[in-house]
Amino acid sequence: MDKKEFRVLIKYFFLKEKNTVEAKTWLDAEFPDTAPGKSTIKDWYAKFRRGEMSTEDGERSGRPKKEVVTDENILKIHEMILNGRKLKLNELADTLKISTERVHHIIHEYLGMRKLCAKWVPRELTFDQKQRRVDDSEQCLKRIKCNKSRFLHRYVRMDENGSIISLRSPIDSHPSGLHTMNPLQAWENATVGW
């Protein structure tokens, strides 16, 4: 039996003017493993004496009944972040009329984003971003296979400090025509920064 059915039985004993001990004795005899405790029966008798005859649960403080982690709210938060990546949790929560804790949960768990330098950014690359990198790499490999020397003369990359590293051979820019490393050697020594 569930709680509501036990409450109906307790109400029945109350209306038959049985005391709590008689109700508890009968419930224990009929439902030895699941019968409510003595204090529960006393609490329900007290409510019935006050005129509260409903056997339903009353409203409680705590988590609201309305679920706020909905597809609609997730989409709204995602659109708002894409339109302005410097939004604060409080601003998003005030706009949607939900708690900052729920906004934080949606951003981190459902959108996979985190705050980086005061901007919301994706935590990991999406499938589309990964596919684009694969496509770009395959395109570079095709160009290398077609004409290695021409590709390497045009290839430019940056190091972690943002300094440009050109793999163009010095013979192209130096009037004397002297250089120590050919483009293929430079290519082998360089790494593509993906």
CATH number at residue 93: 1.10.10
Q: Which pLDDT belongs to residue 10?
A: 92
Q: In angstroms, rounded to a whole number, what is the distance separating the alpha carbons of residues 108 and 106?
A: 6
Q: What is the mean pLDDT of residues 41-68?
A: 80
Residue 61 lies in a domain: no
Judge if pTM exceeds 0.95. Answer: no
* CA-based nearest residue to 82, from 119, 136, 49, 52: 119
Would you state the pLDDT for residue 187? 47
Q: What is the pLDDT of residues 124-159, one digit of tens each?
A: 777 777 888 889 888 888 888 888 777 767 666 655
Considering the domain boundaries, does residue 167 fall inside one? yes
Residue 75 has pLDDT above 80, yes or no: yes
Residue 66 within a domain: no
Pairwise CA distance, residues 116 & 130, whole Å: 20
What proportion of the chain, given as a percentage, has pLDDT over 90? 21
Q: Domain for residue 63, yes or no?
A: no
Q: Are 43 and 81 in the same domain?
A: no
Choosing from 94, 122, 150, the residue where a domain stops is 122
Averaged pLDDT score across all residues of the chain: 77
Query: 100 is in which domain, residue-wise?
Result: 71-122
- Assess whether 9 and 39 both reside in one domain: yes
Higher pLDDT, 171 or 79: 79
- Which residue has better confidence, 147 or 30? 30
pLDDT the model gives residue 175: 47
- Name residues whose C-beta falls within 8 Å of residue 82's C-beta, 6 or more positions apart in sequence: none
Q: Burial level of 74, CB count in 10 A (0-12/13-18/19+)?
A: middle
Q: Check whether residue 146 and residue 106 sit in a common domain.
A: no
Q: What whole-number distance in Å separates Cα of residue 35 and Cα of residue 25?
A: 10
Report yes or no on 38 lying in a domain: yes
Total number of domains in the chain: 3
50: DSSP letter: T
Does a structural domain hold residue 55? no
18 and 41, same domain (yes or no): yes
Residues 139 and 182 in one domain: yes
Considering the chain, what percentage of its residues have pLDDT values greater than 70?
A: 70
Please tell me what DSSP assigns to residue 115. E
Examine residue 54 and state whether it is found in any structural domain, yes or no. no
Q: Phi then psi for 38, rounded to 5 degrees?
A: -60, -40
Please state the φ and ψ torsions of residue 114, each to the nearest 5 degrees: -145, 165
* Torsion, Cα of 81, 87, 92, 93 (10° steps): 140
